[in-house]
Amino acid sequence: MSDLIDQASEATERFTAQALSAHRLPEDKTRYSYSHCMDCGEPIPQARQKAVAGCKLCVLCQEDAEKRKALQGL
């Protein structure tokens, strides 16, 4: 009986470790930033494109999106 439980928790641990490592893939560094904001179409400054790999929104829309996300998280 205890063997079964051991196997189950082992499998769970393995699955969790895999899920975590998949999350940690540094894909952000290879993603291109958008030259224009996806939301309002304003150009995104090159400094921001470089600073935030894979960014899709201008600063204003990003702030907006983060505020919305924060509200949803409540």
Query: CB under 5 A: which stretch of 6-14, 20-28, 53-61, 66-74 binds Zn ion?
Result: 53-61
User: What are the structure tokens assigned to 69, written together?
Assistant: 């996300």
User: Among 8, 11, 19, 40, which residue interacts with Zn ion (rule: CB under 5 A)?
Assistant: 40
Q: What character string, x for contact with Zn ion (CB under 5 A) and - otherwise, covers 3-32?
A: ------------------------------
d(CA 33, CA 62): 13
Q: Contact positions toward Zn ion, by CB under 5 A?
A: 37, 39-40, 42, 58, 61
